[in-house]
Amino acid sequence: MSANTNFLPTYLDEATEAQKKVFFQALVCLSGIDGRTEQEEIDYIAGIAQKHKIDNFTEICKFKDDKEVIENAKVINNRHLALELLRQLCTLAHVDNILSDEETLFIGKIGLAMDIEIEKIEQISEWVVETLILKAQAKLIFEENA
């Protein structure tokens, strides 16, 4: 299940190299936090990296230390970029149609490290789920297979 949220602005292109690195490390870390990394998750992350012309994607994909990623998330001090990361994390967590406790906990810790309130994290998560449901309903209504 892939989510296309092109209607929202992106702040990733204006981020510093350090912020971009942490942004993608967080996505990669989330993809394996439940003990397995699905191809759909890697494809989702790779799509974002390609869209934003991230050159060192292969290097970033090797990073899996969740405690370090959470600590490093503090470099994302732009609220809009932090909210964008949370949106992408919540979407990625649903790509394989399984939201684990480990994924939920990791997203919460990343959000808190970036000074985002729990209520806002929950609001983003709920919005992502509602968006995915609406997209699935649209495919049924309009008889789309893909």
Q: What is the pLDDT of residues 63-118, one digit of tens each?
A: 678 999 999 999 999 999 999 999 999 999 999 888 999 999 999 999 999 999 99
The residue-averaged pLDDT of 29-49 equals 92
What is the 3-state composition of the chain as percent helix, strand, coil, each rounded to the nearest 5? 70, 0, 30
The answer, yes or no, to whether residue 3 has pLDDT greater than 80, is no
- Distance (Å, whole) CA 27 – CA 45: 7
8 pLDDT higher than 80: no
**Cα gap 17→19, rounded to integer Å:** 5
Task: Look up residue 56 and give its DSSP letter.
Answer: T
Would you state the CATH architecture of domain 12-141?
Orthogonal Bundle (1.10)
Residue 5 scores a pLDDT above 50: no
For 95, the 3-state DSSP assignment is helix
| Mean pLDDT on 46-66 | 83
What pLDDT is attached to residue 6? 57
- DSSP H helices in 52-145: 57-61, 66-72, 79-95, 101-113, 118-141
Q: Where along the chain do its domains lie?
A: 12-141
Q: Which structure tokens are listed for 65?
A: 């230390």
